[in-house]
Chains A and B, each alone.
Chain A
Amino acid sequence: MPSTNIYYQYREPSPLRAIWVLMNNNPFAVAALYVFGFFLLIMLLSPFIVPHNPDYQYADAVLQAPSWQQDGQIRFLFGTDDLGRDLLSRIIAGSVYSLGYPILAVFIAAVVGSSIGAWAGMSRGVQSSTLNHLLDVILSIPSLLLALVIIAIVGPSLFNVMIAITLVLIPQFIHSVHNAIYEERYKEYVTASRLNGCSRWYMLTRVIAPNTTTVIVMQVTIALSTAILDIAALGFLGLGVQSPAPEWGSMLARSLDQVYLSPWTMVLPGIALFLTILAINVLGDSIRAAIQERVRSS
């Protein structure tokens, strides 16, 4: 694109923006973004768009097949479950538990984890290296296992699951932010600004942080897919969100009792879970690819 400026002035796009541009060229990434946006919208609007009360039991329509099957009714688009509750409404309402709460957990973990990571990244010497080794170790233990232990201590409930997942995600953020800052802090531009006499705070927030945003964004996508999977897995094991909350994992678990004759009760929540995670993973993958591309081209 020819520059319309009289003076030649090329403004380097911010890392985030550069990646956005690169991702826009990838149709899969765009599709994933739309899917994710769709689920996000559903989640935010869920109280207003559910066709039925997700907890209301229609005693006359127990295990009703989805509307596209022969014996389905249009009243229940996705059919009903074994207590006669509308499955579509439950999936929509469940997005709050299976998508909304993971987002919240990731947000808290990101804020806490990044702050600790930044502090550790700026500090030097023994404390930093010890922390790094320790984190390596903690991260090699699967998050689900750690969450299970926390649940075993505090008992299963929505609040406790949130605590468990948030606690489990924090080390991941500490680790990635710490590493990102560690990598940046000996680069020349940082040294230059240090020689300029910038304060440590200024260095962190204005000099280094902008160059670590992409790493954090990528970590957010990884953490989000982990959080969704773990909350669903805990729900599946009966150790997560308790009934009658329409969490997708626990919906899958309870569908096992009638899966042979009413497969939709298992297939539909599973598809919702699968599509959400797939969208997030494709996004994360595209961001990673875009970062690599950017590094290569710069």
Chain B
Amino acid sequence: MVIQRFWLVLGCCCLVAACGQAAEQPEPLRHGLVYCAEGNPESFNPQLGTSGTTIDATSAQLYDRLIDYDAERQQFEPALALSWQALDDGKRYRFELRQDVQFHRTKWFAPSRPFSATDVLFSFNRWLQPDHPYHHVGGGSYPFFNSSGLIHLIERVEAIDSYTVDIHLAQADSSFLANVATDFAVILSAEYGDQLLQAGTPEEIDRQPIGTGPFRFVEFRKDIGIRYYRHENYWRKPPGIRQLFYTITPNANKRMLKLLTGECDVIPYPLVDKLAELSTDTEIEVQSAVNPNIAYWAFNTERPPFDQPLVRQALAHAINRPAIIQTIYDGNARLATGVLPETSWAFSEEDQTYPFDPERARALLAEAGYADGFSMSIWAMPVQRAYNPNAERMAELIQSDLARIGVRATMVTYEWNTFRRRLANGEHDSVLIGWVADNADPDNFFRPILSCAAKASGNNRANWCDPEFDQLLIDAISATNRDQRVNLYQEIERAVTSAVPIVPIANSLRFQAQRANVEGVELPPYGGLSFRRARIVQDNEKAEQQP
């Protein structure tokens, strides 16, 4: 019996192997899209995280925001809010909400009412009010809202009626709308929150998410994938694909091979040195988008010997950054000349970095009292990001550069979420990481990663806190004249250069590769990936297009 079964299986295998895919694909495959993601999301609530992986898997798929930012036309667009206006000299914003927006209907939640002001209050108060029943669920830290200052900026959120919401600010702030339009300011369901609270399982809100977005969550299996189905009652035009699956594929090479074999339809961060080869394949298309990002090497300035600026300067002189650009990015990146990338309006040509000079590095080390060098760890993130395609290789390059000045470096890496947790605890000596801006304001390159507030929220990887520097940042954000701001940001750049809490390495493009029959997967410059307009071009459609 068993043997018969076996031959049957073997026969089928041969058959399948010989025929390859059947001529006519079954329905799930024709209307489904597989995205090979680079890692597991931390949770399904973007409010709680800052990692791009989490944002890509949640924000644009499961949720909506009050307003969206259209990067192309450089203006805000209505989303869940139909219109908005600034009142009281910019200290109060009024949002008129859209009606008849449906929440997801799933196995674990059946909404009884459409989206209303209650949901806005619930979503904002969760991170605003420390005594909100959900504030401490999921760790109680809201890094984006902390480091962007939104938590302190918003005094309260008030529902005028079911479809009107007022947000009161402590002072006028030009970055407020930009921050509300980011991927972090999503709208959750208050009704779902109540239901879970009654059931005594509030933590499920971030694991079994409910939103108003174009896709609804079905299941998540760690290291396997995330399944989404189309939200049929989506308030915009529902997506063109019925099913969306995120396959977790951390290995960049495997991702690329899976794209070639058709196991993935879309992949993020393809290996840069393979891009040329991928592009020539007519089945594969490579997209690139300007991505306001910076890869840097941060020193934990709380740990000796990195508390000495001399040591940090020595290390900055010790690494051969042009070689890194060649080897790691294959030349597909720009050598950073400061923290701000070229695309920022506050950027200036002045080079604010340390040239490669091992002799000088050794001299500086000797001056700091470490003539014989020391041992240190370089933490390298285990995932690819737009700003850094391979941090582990980069760490090895730096390792050998440091060996030349007598510093013995070991590379440390953990799984991405563990890595971030331990980083936030400050267990590292130095780390290769980076930052992708959430909006176009240059402030977003400094406050979230180098301010004292960012240190408190665990996002300041250098653990660097300088009150003078913070004052500079505040001056820069409250200045209204753009030229004045440009000058202030130049001063800030120089302050970073002299203290070197971080060594800027590169600004790069964000790449994405996809099968040629996938359309409408956009790469927005700010924020995460969206599959809302994605569709799969069927073979017969293609035939029709060709006369």
Contacts and interface: CB of A to CB of B under 8 A. Distances in A.
Interface of A: 55-57, 59, 62-63, 82-84, 242-244, 256-261
Contact of B253 (A57, A84, A257): A257
Q: In the A-B complex, list the 6 residue pairs whose CB atoms are closest, starting with the nearest.
A: A257-B253, A59-B323, A256-B253, A244-B396, A62-B327, A57-B400
A193 B462 CA distance: 75
Contact of B397 (A83, A256, A260): A83
30 contacts: A55-B400, A57-B323, A57-B327, A57-B397, A59-B320, A59-B323, A62-B326, A82-B327, A83-B393, A83-B396, A83-B397, A242-B411, A243-B392, A243-B396, A243-B399, A243-B411, A244-B396, A244-B400, A256-B251, A256-B253, A256-B254, A257-B251, A257-B252, A257-B271, A257-B390, A258-B253, A260-B257, A261-B273, A261-B274, A261-B277
B307 to A, nearest CB: 27
Contacts of B277: 261
A82 B251 contact: no
Most B C-beta atoms less than 10 A away, residue of A59, A243, A257: A257
B232 to A, nearest CB: 40
Interface string B456-477: 0000000000000000000000
Interface of B: 251-254, 256-257, 271, 273-274, 277, 320, 323, 326-327, 390, 392-393, 396-397, 399-400, 403, 410-411
B252 A83 contact: no
Contacts of B274: 258, 260-261
A257 B274 CA distance: 10
Contacts of B273: 63, 258, 261
A228 to B, nearest CB: 24
Given A62-B327, A257-B390, A244 B257 contact: no
Contacts of B320: 59
Contacts of B257: 260
A82 to B, nearest CB: 6
A297 B289 CA distance: 77
A121 B256 CA distance: 57
Most B C-beta atoms less than 10 A away, residue of A55, A243, A256, A259: A243
Contact of A244 (B251, B252, B327, B399): B399
A84 B323 CA distance: 11
Contacts of A59: 320, 323, 326-327
A55 B274 CA distance: 24
B526 to A, nearest CB: 29
A82 B324 CA distance: 12
Interface of B, secondary structure class, is helix
Contacts of A257: 251-253, 271, 390
Contacts of B410: 242
B253 A260 contact: yes
Contacts of B252: 257
B268 to A, nearest CB: 16
Contacts of A63: 273
Contacts of A56: 400
B397 A259 contact: no
Nearest to B257: A260
Contacts of B399: 243-244
A260 B256 contact: yes
A63 B326 CA distance: 12
Given A62-B327, A261-B277, 13 more contacts: A56-B400, A57-B323, A59-B323, A59-B327, A82-B327, A83-B327, A243-B399, A243-B411, A256-B253, A257-B390, A258-B253, A258-B271, A260-B257
A258 B390 CA distance: 12
A245 to B, nearest CB: 11
Nearest to B390: A257
B53 to A, nearest CB: 19
A243 B251 CA distance: 18
Nearest to B323: A59
A211 B366 CA distance: 63
A260 B397 CA distance: 22
Contacts of B254: 256
A84 B393 CA distance: 11
Contacts of A82: 327, 393
A118 B403 CA distance: 48
Contacts of B400: 55-57, 244
A59 B399 CA distance: 14
Contacts of B256: 260
A257 B257 CA distance: 10
Nearest to A157: B410
A259 B271 CA distance: 12
B411 A84 contact: no
A256 B254 CA distance: 8
A82 B410 CA distance: 19
B506 to A, nearest CB: 15
A124 B290 CA distance: 77
A244 to B, nearest CB: 6
Nearest to A53: B400
A83 B327 CA distance: 7
B437 to A, nearest CB: 28
A100 B396 CA distance: 24
Contacts of B397: 57, 83
Contacts of A259: 253
A264 to B, nearest CB: 15
A59 B324 CA distance: 9
Nearest to B392: A243
A258 B327 CA distance: 13
A244 B399 CA distance: 8
Nearest to B399: A244
Most A C-beta atoms less than 10 A away, residue of B252, B274, B326, B400: B400
A62 B411 CA distance: 21
A83 B257 CA distance: 21
A63 B256 CA distance: 18
Nearest to B380: A243
B218 to A, nearest CB: 31
A96 to B, nearest CB: 18
Most A C-beta atoms less than 10 A away, residue of B273, B277, B410: B273
B274 to A, nearest CB: 6
Contacts of B393: 82-83
A257 B249 CA distance: 13
B396 A84 contact: no
A62 B328 CA distance: 10
Contacts of A243: 392, 396, 399, 411
